[in-house]
Structure 1
Amino acid sequence: FLVGGDVTYNVQKASISRYNAVVGYSALEYAVTLHGLSNLSTFHASYYHKVNQDIQ
């Protein structure tokens, strides 16, 4: 499993100005991810599948 994120903190305003998060899973033949962007208001999903050595 994969988990990640980032936070942007504005020191002058003493507030969080942006945050994003991602979760994913990777196996030998496939990988899936879900990204939460723009303060978790936009989501992006991806899927990768390796069918065999010649086709990805």
Structure 2
Amino acid sequence: MSYRTLLFDIADHVATITLHRPDAANGMNLELAKELMQVALRHDVIRVLKPCYINV
């Protein structure tokens, strides 16, 4: 799945989420919050993937 406000990758059971809103200094907005929730639910990040890195 493609996201507008973040980049998501899984390698060797490690998830990397990179906030991608350079025009807003990666500030949180409703769309970004929804996409973070979608990533967590879709990929079961909390239960299956450890660790998970979030880059700002």
| Bigger Rg over Cα | 1
Higher relative contact order (CA 8 A, sep 6+): 2
Choose between structure 1 and 2: higher strand proportion.
1
| Fold shared by both chains (TM-score > 0.5) | no
Choose between structure 1 and 2: higher helix proportion.
2
TM-score normalised by the chain length of structure 1: 0.32
TM-score normalised by the chain length of structure 2: 0.32
